[in-house]
Structure formats: C-alpha cells, structure tokens
Amino acid sequence: MQFDLGTTRDGLKDIKSRMAQGILAYPSPKEFLRNYSDMVDGLVRKAFQQAQSQVSTPSVCVIAIGGYGRAELAPCSDIDLLLLYPSSQKEQLPPLVEKVLYPLWDLGLDVSCSSRSISECLKMAQSDLHIKTSLIDGRYLDGEYDFFRKLYDLFSKKVLHRKVRKFGESLAKDLYLRRQKYEDPAYVLEPNIKEGEGGVRDFQIGRWIVRAKYKTDRWDSFLFPDHSRTLDKNLQFLWAVRNQLHLLSGRRQDDLTFEWQEKIAPILGFSPGARGIEDMMRQYHLSTQKISNFVDDVLERVLYEPSSFKKTFLFFQKKKIDPNFGLARGELTLLDPITFKREPAQLMTLFQYLQVSHGRMHFRTEEAVMEALPFMDDRLRSSEKVNQTFHSILRTGEGVAAILKKMHNLGFLSRYIPEFSEIEGKVHYDLYHVHPIDIHSLLAVEELEKLRMGVYQKDDLLLTSLIQELEKPEILLLTALLHDIGKGAEGDHSIIGAEMIRQIGSRMGLPKEDRDLMGFLVSHHLSMLETAFRRDLRDEQIILRFANEVKHLSLLKMLYLLTFADIKAVGPEAWTSWKNSLLMELFLKTSHFFERDGVTGPFLKGEEMIQKLKASLPPEIFSEVGDHLPERYLSSCSLGEIAHHIEMARSLEKTPLLVEWEAEKEVRAKVTICTKDLYGLFSKITGCMFLDRLNILEAQIHTWGNGVALDIFWVEDATKGLEDRLQQFQRDLGEVLSGAVALKSLFLQRREMNSIHQKVIPGVPAEVKVNDQDSDFHTIIEVTGEDRLGILYEITETLTDHGFDIQFARISTLGNRIVDVFYVQDKWGQKIEGQQKVEHLKQTLLRRLIA
Amino acid sequence: MKKIEAIIKPFKLDDVKNVLSKIGVQGMTITEVKGFGRQRGHTEVYRGAEYKIDFLPKIKIELITPDDMVPQIIENLERGAKTGKIGDGKIFLSPVEEIIRIRTGERGKDAI
C-alpha cells in the first residue's frame, strides 16, 4: 500500500530549504515557527485522514502537544502527537497509529505519538509533571473534536488549576536542577538555548504557571506593556538564534557552541569577526537574563503569594517600618505604589531596608521599582541623600553582593550608574573569561564578601586577614564592581576605566582621596598579576619598580585583594594556589620593602636620577645602560659621577681594568675601580690594597645589571707615599685580575714588608651578625671589630672562601673601630640557606677578627 | 619521535614560547605545577605570622617532536629558560612509541 502525502522526503527538504532561505523575510522568528508548524499540520492531517480511510477505525482525535502544540515548531524539533480514544477501542489502535506514523517518518520527520484514553491522560497528568506540561499546550488537529473538548474540560478542572502552588514547586525544582546542571562555566560560554538558564524552557515554565494560575493564555497579562514588549523581543531573539542553529546543523542542535556562534552572528546581521560574535552573545545573555528574571518573578507569585484570607490577616500583621515601607513575614512591601514616582530617591532607601531586614522584596514592590526606573535622572544620581544611602549599603558589609545583584536584576543598578549598562551582557570571545562582564563584576564583589566572612580562611589566610584589617572596605567593593567599567569602550580598559570611575566617584560625592584611590586601583588592576606571572620575583629591581608603581602599603593590600577578586570571578578554575603563591610572593616582598626602607628615600632619588640621566645622556648610551643601574648606586652618586662611570664602563671593551683616583690632602684618596665583575673581586681588590699598605676607610661596591663592577674606596696612607702606592696598587691589581700572578704568591713575596708592628690601643670587641630577615634578596652580614691594616681583606676573603658573593658593601671606620656591612648571595644568586653554613661562617670570621 | 618535558620558571614561559615558535614548534602542553628541587621552599613572615611556601610554582611544558628536531628544540629551550640562577629547571627527553590523533585516526609523525 502506498502512502501519498503529496510530497516526498526530497520534496520536504526542498520546502524546508526554501523556507530557510526566506527566513529573514518573516515578520518575526515566531512567525516562521508558526508557518513551519502549519505546514506540518497539513501533513499530519493528510496522514491521519489516509489512515482512517484504510483501516476500519474507531473514532479518535489527533492532538498536537508540547512545542508543536503551541505552534512553535523549530525546524528540527520533535513533533509530539497524542491520539485520544475511547477506552473500549484500545486493540484497534496499533494499526491506525502505524498508518499515521510511517508516512511521516518516511518524510524524515521526528514524530512521536502516544495513544491514551481520556482517563489515562488525566491520571498520568496528575502524577507526571512532563505529561502535564505537554498537555497544557495541546492543540486540536483532526478527528473527534468532542474528545478534545472533553479532555480539556476535565484537565482544566481536575488538574491544571488545582494545587497550583504544588505545580509551581515542582517546576521550581525542575528549574533549580537544570540551573545547577548548566551552571558549569562551559555552558556560559556555549549555552544551551533550550535548557540553559533563561532559555526557552525557562520561559515556558513561566507561561505554564501563568496559565495555571491566572487561567489565561496571555503570559504577559500581568506585566506592564513595556516590560512585556522587551521580554517578547528577547524571546524572539532566542527563537531567531535557535532557528538558525537547527537549519544550519540540520539536526536538533540546541548547544550554541563557538562553531555555530561564528556562523550565525553574520546571518543575524552582526558584524563579521570576533566583534560581531561578542555582540550577538551580549544580546543573548541580556535576553536570557530577562527571561530568567521573568520566570523567577512568576514563580515567586505562585510560591509566596498568600491566599486572600491570609492577605486580610497579614494586613494587620504588617509592621510599618517607615511611612513608605512595611514588613510582613520577612517580605518588604511598598505601602503606596505611587511613592517611587513621586520620590525616586526612596528606591535607594528600599534597598537599604532590604539589606537590613535580610528579607525578600514583595513582587508588587519589585514591579514598582521597575516601573519607576524611567524617573531616575541625573538629579537623583547626584543626590547627596541617595549617594550616602548607597555608601552605607556598601559599608554595612553584609549581604552587599546580594543587594547589588538585586539592583542589577531589577535594572536599577544601570540606571543609577549608567556606565554599567555598557558592560551588561558583554562577553569576551575567548575561553578564559566565562561570564559576561557585568556578572563577572558582581561576582568579584561577592568573592570579596566571602573572603571577608572567612569562607576562604583555610586556603587564603593572608588575604583573609588583609581584608579584615582594611579601613575602607566599601571603596574596595565599589572598585571591584566597577573595575572593568572601561570595557564598554574601545582602547585600554584600565586607563579608560580609571577615568570613568573617578567621574562616577565625583558624581557620587566621594572625597578626592577615595576617587584617586579607586582610579589608581582600576588603572593598575592588571599590574600585580602581570608582574607576578611574567617577571622574576627574585630580582630586586623588579620588586623596587613594582613598589614604586604602587607607592604605598595600603594600596598594595587593596591591589592584592582586587587581583584576587578579579581572578576568582573569572571562573571557578581560575584562582589556584599556584597563582596565589606567585602573587603572595610579590605581595610579601613588596610589603617588606615598604615596611623597611620606605619607598620615598633612595628609590625616589634613584628614579629622579634616571630621569636626569635620560635627559643628559645621548639616547643610545642611555638605552644601553639605563636599565642596568641599581637604585642604591643611583642614590649614592652624583649625576657627574655616574656619567663619568658610564664612560669608564664603555671603555672596558678596550681595557679590562680602569683605576682612577683623586687625592685629598696627600694622605687620602678616593679610588674608583671599574671592571667586569667576577667572583671574589672585592676580596682581590682589598687584598691588593692591603699589600700596598693602603688603609681602607670606606668602600662602596656596586654591581650593575650588565655585569660591570663599580667600586669606590676611600683610602689612607700615613706615610705620604700615597701616589706611589696607588700606582703600585693599580699594577698589582691588574696582574692579579688578569691571572698573571696569584694574590697569594704576592703575599708570600712581600711578607716581611707587611709585618708592621702597629700601635697598641684599647681593644674593640669583635662581633658578627648575620641577618636573614631584612632583605628578601640578600643575607646581610654585619661585622664590627678593631681596625687594622688588611682587616677588610681578611673579612672579604673569608666570605669568598665560604662561597658568598658580595653584592654590596658599606665599609666605615670610626676611630679604630670598623663597622662593615655586606650584602651577600650564594653562587646561585640566592640568600644564604642553612643554619650550619651561617654558624660556620660566623666562627671563622670571629677567629680572623681576633687574630 | 621524542617527548620533551621541561620544568621552567613561570616568568620564562613567554620567552620559551617565543623561541620555540620561531623554530617552528607547532604545539605544546602547558601545566601549572608545583615542586622543589635544589631550590627549596621558604617561609615568609608578614606581621609576625608565618606563611609557609613548601612548593615553588613552576611551569611544565610537554611537547612531542620528530627526532631530527630534538637538538634544536632543546638548545632553544635552554636558552629561553635560562636565568643562570638556581631554580631554572630541567629538561627531560624520552622516546615515544606511538601517537594517534583521535579525530582522524592518523598515526605516527602525521599525528604530531
């Protein structure tokens, strides 16, 4: 037996593809769905009529249910049919069902059909949520109309409008379970249009409940016209995307993956490339947010609205908390609906009450908020009272994130801070940033709040204690909320955002210091992360530079906290102990620096010097050495000296060693030595000085980043042969450094000469202190003892023998007492580790000091 | 075919990536790892409280390459990752028996 529905599989494909080509010509995506559904109706009817003519059929009725019942049939969605029959004719059904289904299946349609009697339908609808909801949307197609009418009369009376609250609860549970499933960040980037949060299914839940509760098909009957129009647009947008998804993929594809985002955006008129995709996804997220709010709103009505009897009762129970607001059963209510329009400033007061009462907002009050939004103007935004209320909400510190979220959901936040609307729903087209920027910003606030409550105490103890000791947490929260505010514009979002947050701050009437603080934090909100992940934290210069950028310990703390919030709010996987260990290292080193040295002294002097050098040196020379000059060096020499040193360093290519001196009075001289740094250099220099009987009064040794050693000594010779001795010293040092002669052998040669008997004067006790705490980069060794010729050589030789590299030294002689400080590292450029090593060094040093 | 694994300092990742992509390395796997070798963890003090850093953060790079590329890759890896200080990391080289690209079922060199 041949079935003929007037078309073939290929014919249907043609029809579909013609519809697809003309899809943009439909007045709305929903119109397209209806059209497609009408076409399918025709086929089903034909199949049914043919089947009836071929089999001796009982009287039955064909009903379209589910999405098809609503005449919202997406191109590859299931087509659900219900065959309704009188219970006596059950056995005659299977042949009929076959005859209806086969030809439709042959056409490639995804049809499924259930056959039930009226009583079965009702019974199952009572116990099965899915069957109940699919029946709600039932639509008569063909056959005995009486059956259809009878079913729906009974369904309405016995099932749909009974136990509405319980129905709401079951749907709320379904909603909750789905939200949990699709909460995974992967679904935020690649959402599921049907099942995801704010998707098509969510909307249907809202509609079913309206239907059950208010007995009307007009899902928007209780909404304000404006609101319902926007919502309809949002829904149409989802349909438009879903239609394309089905048509392009040729299957029931509801996951809007990157692949399809890329293809669909241009079709829907978004600009090509990443920008267009981001724009489309922004609209997607804005739409789903609205739908999600809608369904929450509807559920709220069903689950919480008390019966009319209770209403009267509650009226008397309601506690008036001020002339405008009342509180009943933890629900905040606006007493007179006109209040907000008359005095929009009360909106902010409402949110403050909401925070204080830890309660919910009555849905009528929520509606009043949304309705009053157009009345929020610039005057309100700069009203002192409103702004102060907002700040006290932030300052209270409890439930701030929840309040901000509520403000955001009701559209209040972006009316109060219009800049915020620019980042609403905006997405980054990449895998790292999971949430749209507005949600990310709200999450950042939430993370800080959790941190402050001690939620992360176990893993992030330091951060927890930092936020708890913060003086103005409200400023940090506001900054977190607005840290990406510049992302709505083109360009560097940190810089743009900093300017914007200053303006917002000034509109809110914040004092200048707070505005500057927020501006600073926003402009630097990526610096800490970049320094921690991309720079060598064992390099003192890096820490110094970062410290100079941050300028103050209190700013450093806030920056660390903001960095935490920013990363944590990116997605659940983003914040790891790995990342934190780098950030913490940077934080601790920089904070030590602030606490010990302060950034104002040597560093600023160093910075100033660099600027001066930049101005006075030829650019090619500056760029060659500028970066290599350590702060300590810059702050201890004059511009003229540094310029001269740079000249010396540049001539090192020709001569490996430069020694210069200026004599003061015949007995004293300042000696400048410039050479390539090598291990034990300082000890060799002091050794040669000892050899040539130059007494060292002071020394500064500097190692530049490019391996140039620049050492400055103040020496003395009591015998008035200074010039000769210095000449001799230069020769000796040259030979020792070039390796022509070993220092030791020079000592042996001139041993007798050096055994000078020195005057006996009151002794100075010898002491060696090893300090491991005061620097994150060096071990500091402080040596005090009695001065004698060659003592510095003995000390430095000991240090060198123990494998310590002297990076910096400050040598001073007070009468017959020396106080020498050495900054040392081991051969690998690390601080000295191991108590034993330190102890051993101490003992040797002490022995040699006393000897 | 060989597998090259390297443990490097986190801030050297960009440098290493640059030198490797210059010589035509197509892909690699990056993992954030923690550990210690000669360079030990340490204790940091802030306001009298001690914060122990037992394991140091490092980056692990893994890549698979034909044998003939090995010397060049290792040389560049070394250059890119070196600071000369302790904790610069290590490079491990090991043979790989087979590679299969799951999508196409390609095997051996073609699947790299």
A72-82: pLDDT as tens digits:
888 888 899 99
* A803 chain-B contacts, CB cut-off 8 A: none
Contact B46 A591 (CB under 8 A): yes
Res. A54: pLDDT tops 70: yes
A817-836: pLDDT as tens digits:
788 888 888 877 778 877 78
Q: Which one is predicted more confidently, A221 or B69?
A: B69
Other beta carbons within 10 Å of B22: 10
Confidence of residue A762 (pLDDT cuts 50, 70, 90): low
* A431 chain-B contacts, CB cut-off 8 A: none
Residue A650's Cβ-count burial label (10 Å; 0-12, 13-18, 19+) is: middle
Contact A578 B44 (CB under 8 A): no
Cβ(A300)–Cβ(A169) under 8 Å?
A: no
What's the pLDDT at A219? 73
Question: If you average pLDDT over residues A114-135, what whole number do you get?
Answer: 87
Range from A347-356, A691-700, A754-763 carrying the lowest mean pLDDT? A754-763
Q: Which one is predicted more confidently, A200 or A777?
A: A200
Q: Does A830 touch chain B (CB under 8 A)?
A: yes
Q: Token digits for A229?
A: 């129009």
Res. A475: pLDDT tops 90: yes
A254-280: pLDDT as tens digits:
889 888 898 899 888 888 888 888 889
Residue A54 to residues A42, A49, A140, A171: CA-CA distances in angstroms? 18, 9, 22, 42
Nearest CA in chain B to A776: B44
pTM of the predicted protein model: 0.71
Contact B32 A576 (CB under 8 A): yes
Q: Mention the CATH class of domain A166-305.
A: mainly alpha
Nearest CA in chain B to A583: B57
* B11 chain-A contacts, CB cut-off 8 A: 533-537
What's the pLDDT at A306? 57
Over chain A, what is the mean pLDDT?
A: 84
Selection from A504-508, A632-636, B51-55 with the highest mean pLDDT: A504-508
Question: If you average pLDDT over residues A673-694, what whole number do you get?
Answer: 86
Confidence of residue A197 (pLDDT cuts 50, 70, 90): confident
What's the pLDDT at A90? 66
What's the pLDDT at A465? 92
Q: Residues of chain B whose C-beta is under 8 A from some C-beta in A?
A: 9-11, 14, 32-34, 39-40, 44-47, 49, 51, 53, 55-57, 83-87
Share of chain A above pLDDT 70, in %: 93
- Distance from the Cα of A589 to chain B's closest Cα (Å) equals 9
What is the per-residue burial (b if ≥16 Cβ within 10 Å, else e) of A692-716? bbbbbbbbbbbbbeeebbbbbbbbb
Res. A303: pLDDT tops 60: yes
Beta bridge partners of A14: none
- Distance from the Cα of B47 to chain A's closest Cα (Å) equals 10
Contact A534 B85 (CB under 8 A): no
What's the pLDDT at A491? 83
DSSP letter for B100, please: B
Confidence of residue A502 (pLDDT cuts 50, 70, 90): very high
Mutate to test the interface with A, among B9, B11, B18, B58 (most CBs of A within 10 A): B11
Share of chain A above pLDDT 90, in %: 21
What's the pLDDT at A599? 47
What's the pLDDT at A1? 41
Domains of chain B: 2-111 (3.30.70.120)
Q: Domain A9-162, what fold?
A: Beta Polymerase; domain 2 (3.30.460)
Of A461, A582, A830, the CB nearest to B10: A582
d(CA A256, CA A116): 36
Contact B46 A462 (CB under 8 A): yes
Q: Which one is predicted more confidently, A479 or A99?
A: A479
Single out the residue of A710, A734, A733, A721 nearest to residue A793, CA to CA: A733
Nearest CA in chain A to B57: A578
Q: Which residues 574-593 of chain A have a CB within 8 Å of chain B?
A: 576-579, 581-582, 584-585, 588, 591
Contact B83 A536 (CB under 8 A): yes
Confidence of residue A310 (pLDDT cuts 50, 70, 90): low
Fold match between domain A9-162 and domain A166-305: no
Res. A524: pLDDT tops 50: yes
- For chain A, give every domain's residue range: 9-162, 166-305, 307-385, 619-756+764-850
Beta bridge partners of A325: A334
Cβ(A449)–Cβ(A401) under 8 Å?
A: yes
Res. A147: pLDDT tops 90: no
Contact B51 A584 (CB under 8 A): yes
What's the pLDDT at A522? 96
Question: If you average pLDDT over residues B25-52, what whole number do you get?
Answer: 79
Question: If you average pLDDT over residues A617-637, what whole number do you get?
Answer: 80
What's the pLDDT at A313? 52
Range from A83-97, A151-165, B19-33, B39-53 carrying the lowest mean pLDDT? B39-53
A376-419: pLDDT as tens digits:
999 999 999 999 999 999 998 788 999 999 999 888 999 999 99
